[in-house]
Amino acid sequence: MELTTVWFALIAILWAGYFLLEGFDFGVGILLPVLGRDERERRLLINTIGPVWDGNEVWLLVAGGATFAAFPEWYATLFSGFFLPLLIILVALILRGVAFEYRGKVDDDRWRRRWDACIIGGSLVPALLWGVAFGNIVRGVALDADHEYVGGFFNLLNPYALLGGLTTLTLFTLHGAVFLALKTDGEVRERAGRLAATLGGPVIAIAGAFLLWTAIAHRDHGGWILSALAAAALAGAVLAAYARREGWAFLATGATIVLATFALFVTLFPDVMPATVAANSLTVDNASSTPYTLKVMTWVAVIFTPVVLAYQGWTYWVFRKRLTVAHIPPASAPAREKV
């Protein structure tokens, strides 16, 4: 197998891992005002992802770095053509990260509400825009002969891409609700379980429509199979949520996200950035680095990837227990200094 194909597959795995792990982080942030009815419950929700959210974002950094090193032409076209939406995503992620650290620094309700708004927006905006971005990548964009994007920002807001954005937004929200039902206990667990069961129908409708549209538009047999498996996993997640089997529901929503991501990449291959004019498309061949670069990268990945996976797995094992409001002590932040 060509190293270009190997690295295309590895990048697909990295994005699938990012959406799997960061997906429930986004869902928790989006559901903060829905399931957190008072300050202690909101702190409980944040604490469920507190030890892992920053580690989950490492998958995004590695995916971006791998794309830059393995397919520099793809990286250059993507980050120049999608500059504005990617900048919005980056700002949202920065604000969310700062909010996690700063919301408890001052014992003041208005202070916390402002940072909570950053957490909610910093979760909702990327959850929506990642789907819009990948929808456009799969659909194809206007590239010239030099592989530069020549469309405008509003060309990216087409019906297919917007449906992709709604798919990731609703799917990540469901994933977050299931995660909270799995990670908490007491009233929050019950509310999260009921919400997950309620979200099931709309998510099936939206995600099913997007996967069906993708399969019909591209007629790729591998994409069809993976889309069908993703749909089956999503149906299983909803059934498990109704039955209050949180563990199975979380595994199923995770499988849905991974299979759907793989379906998009399989549909995309051998292109990495298809153009509306086929001759201008970027492929795994004309967008890749030199064979020597790919060979060195492969050895680095073989050595360090197991270490990273082992460390992250250990982190999840250490923080595996359910949390309740009883685990959240009263606020003890320092009072705001008077100026």
Task: Please check whether residue 211 is in contact with residue 166, taking contact to mean a CB–CB distance below 8 angstroms.
Answer: no
Asked if the structure places residue 339 within a domain, the reply is no
Separation between Cα atoms, residue 131 and residue 147, nearest integer Å: 22
- Whose tokens are 């799969």? That residue is 138
Separation between Cα atoms, residue 12 and residue 154, nearest integer Å: 27
Task: Please check whether residue 215 is in contact with residue 224, taking contact to mean a CB–CB distance below 8 angstroms.
Answer: yes
- Whose tokens are 């094992």? That residue is 317
Task: Please check whether residue 39 is in contact with residue 332, taking contact to mean a CB–CB distance below 8 angstroms.
Answer: no
pLDDT over 70 (residue 336):
no
pLDDT tens-digit readout, 239-272 = 999 999 999 999 999 999 999 999 999 999 999 9
Classify the C-alpha dihedral 107-108-113-114 as positive or negative.
negative
Domain count, the chain: 1
Separation between Cα atoms, residue 131 and residue 137, nearest integer Å: 10
- Distance in angstroms between the alpha carbons of the first and the last residue of the chain: 66
Asked if the structure places residue 224 within a domain, the reply is yes
Separation between Cα atoms, residue 7 and residue 30, nearest integer Å: 33
pLDDT tens-digit readout, 60-70 = 999 999 999 99
Token pair in block for residue 253: 């929503």
Angle, alpha carbons 177-180-183 (nearest 5°):
155
In single-letter form, the type of residue at position 120 comes to: I
Angle, alpha carbons 316-11-28 (nearest 5°):
40
Asked if the structure places residue 335 within a domain, the reply is no
DSSP state of 284: T
Please name the residues in contact with 289: beta carbons below 8 A apart, sequence gap of 6 or more: 69, 70, 71, 72, 297
331 — pLDDT class (breaks 50, 70, 90): low
pLDDT tens-digit readout, 199-220 = 999 999 999 999 889 888 887 7
Containing H/E element for 267?
helix 246-268
Choice between 146 and 15, residue whose per-residue pLDDT is larger: 15
Asked if the structure places residue 336 within a domain, the reply is no
Burial 96-126 (b: 16+ CB within 10 A, else e): bbebbeebbebeeeebbeebbebbbbbbbbb
Average pLDDT on 17-29 reads: 95
Asked if the structure places residue 305 within a domain, the reply is yes
Mean pLDDT of the chain: 90
pLDDT tens-digit readout, 157-207 = 999 999 999 999 999 999 999 999 999 999 999 999 999 999 999 999 999
Asked if the structure places residue 333 within a domain, the reply is no
Asked if the structure places residue 160 within a domain, the reply is yes
Which pTM does this prediction carry?
A: 0.92
Domain that holds residue 289: 3-327
Asked if the structure places residue 338 within a domain, the reply is no
